[in-house]
Amino acid sequence: MNKMKILDLGAGALPLKANPEDEIITIDHDSRCSPTVLHDLCQFPYPFKDNEFDLIYASHILEHLKDLVKVMEELWRITKPNGRIIIKSPHFSSVHAWLSPDHKRVFSINSFDLFEKSDYWKSGGEHFGDCEYKVIKKELRYCRLPMVSPNPLKTFFAKLLNFLANKNPYLCERLWCYLVGGFSEIYLELEVIK
The Cα–Cα gap between 132 and 137 comes to 15
Assess if residue 155 is contained within a domain. no
Assess if residue 149 is contained within a domain. no
pLDDT tens, residue by residue, 47-104: 999 999 999 999 999 999 999 999 999 999 999 999 999 999 999 988 888 888 889 9
Assess if residue 47 is contained within a domain. yes
C-alpha distance from residue 185 to each of 7, 107, 142 (Å): 21, 9, 7
pLDDT attached to residue 41: 96
pLDDT attached to residue 87: 97
CATH number at 93 reads: 3.40.50.150
pLDDT band for position 16 (cuts 50, 70, 90): confident
| pLDDT higher than 60, residue 13 | yes
Assess if residue 178 is contained within a domain. no
Rg from Cα positions in the chain? 17
pLDDT tens, residue by residue, 134-185: 999 999 988 776 555 667 777 788 788 888 889 988 888 888 878 877 888 9
> By the 8 A CB rule, do 17 and 66 touch?
no
For the chain, what is the domain count? 1
For 60, the domain range is 5-142+185-192
pLDDT attached to residue 65: 96
Assess if residue 82 is contained within a domain. yes
pLDDT band for position 118 (cuts 50, 70, 90): low
| pLDDT higher than 70, residue 125 | no
pLDDT attached to residue 147: 55
Assess if residue 88 is contained within a domain. yes
Assess if residue 162 is contained within a domain. no
Region of residue 38 (left: phi > 0; alpha: psi -120 to 50; beta: else): beta
